[in-house]
Amino acid sequence: MTIWGKILGGAAGFALGGPIGAILGVMAGNAFDKRSKSKFNFSQINQNQKQQIFTISFIILSAKLAKSDGKVTEDEIRAFKEKFKIPKSEINKVGKIFNEAKKDVYGYKQIADQVGLLFSDNKVLLEELLNNLFYIAASDGQISLKEIDLLKSISVSFKFSEKDFQRIFQMNLNNKDADPYKLLGVNRSDDDKIIRKKWILLNKEHHPDNLIAKGMPKEFIEQSNKELASINLAYDKIKELRGIS
């Protein structure tokens, strides 16, 4: 069964308790510290639940993002369905969550704050969420200023720095427009060893096997492969600029 077939419980939770209920509804109760609901232990839930949390979080934030510039375009809806390979048999279930969440943009920060909490010890999955949201924003041909503002706000909720956001932003530009130093998250003054070390780290973090082990559904792997290609191209550009063999 694909991840889309596993989120029916989350959809029911959404209908009953809103987006917060949808996300919490797919988690094991003992994942929260009994003394403090703000402390969540991601390692205490199983792989299926991690994937469900990731997927439902993405659906809800995608809908909020698509609505942020005033309208949800057919391109955005089509991109969502095609990119993430939603079977026809599951579209109605996924659509139920998406349609409820897109009613207005109000409430996205509450969702993003909660998602940031849930994945606070799993930053690479938060980055993958943001990368996939960039893809949805760009699916109608351009990313609007309102969408960029919302993506930046989500980034803040995820506790990313401005440098982190710029790195993710550069990764989602056309390769010819991207700044290779910003894309790797390094400074132009850094020496070759530091830059190579960061390139190796990013390759390890964004490798599909690592992402799946962290809890990302396989349906989202295609985008991570694109990110890997951008990371490697950026490093190749830097080597060319510096005359590194």
Q: Are 151 and 238 in contact (CB under 8 A)?
A: no
Nearest to 150 by CA among 44, 83, 69, 216: 69
What mean pLDDT comes out for the span 156-183?
A: 90
What mean pLDDT comes out for the span 199-221?
A: 90
What is the overall mean pLDDT for the chain?
Answer: 79
Q: Which residue has the higher pLDDT, 142 or 34?
A: 142
User: Which pLDDT score, from 0 to 100, does residue 166 have?
Assistant: 93
What mean pLDDT comes out for the span 98-110?
A: 73
The Cα–Cα gap between 146 and 144 comes to 5
Q: Are 55 and 3 in contact (CB under 8 A)?
A: yes
User: Which pLDDT score, from 0 to 100, does residue 51 have?
Assistant: 80
Q: Answer whether residue 68 shows pLDDT above 80.
A: no
Measured at the alpha carbon of residue 215, what is the angle toward residues 210 and 216, in degrees to the nearest 5? Answer: 80
User: 82: how many CB neighbours lie within 10 A of its CB?
Assistant: 10
Longest CA–CA separation in the chain, Å:
60
User: Which pLDDT score, from 0 to 100, does residue 204 have?
Assistant: 94
User: Which pLDDT score, from 0 to 100, does residue 15 have?
Assistant: 46
With a CB cutoff of 8 Å and minimum separation 6, the contacts of 146 are 68, 69, 70
Residue 173 binned pLDDT confidence (cut-offs 50, 70, 90): confident
**Residue 72 DSSP one-character state:** -
Helix (H, G, I), strand (E, B) or coil at 34: coil
Q: Answer whether residue 38 shows pLDDT above 60.
A: no
The Cα–Cα gap between 171 and 182 comes to 9
Nearest to 237 by CA among 190, 187, 178, 185: 178
User: Which pLDDT score, from 0 to 100, does residue 218 have?
Assistant: 84
User: Which pLDDT score, from 0 to 100, does residue 20 have?
Assistant: 54
Q: Are 142 and 73 in contact (CB under 8 A)?
A: no
Report the first-to-last Cα separation within the chain, whole angstroms. Answer: 46
Q: Answer whether residue 65 shows pLDDT above 80.
A: yes
Helix (H, G, I), strand (E, B) or coil at 1: coil
User: Which pLDDT score, from 0 to 100, does residue 73 have?
Assistant: 66
Beta-bridge partner residues of 20: none
**Residue 38 DSSP one-character state:** E
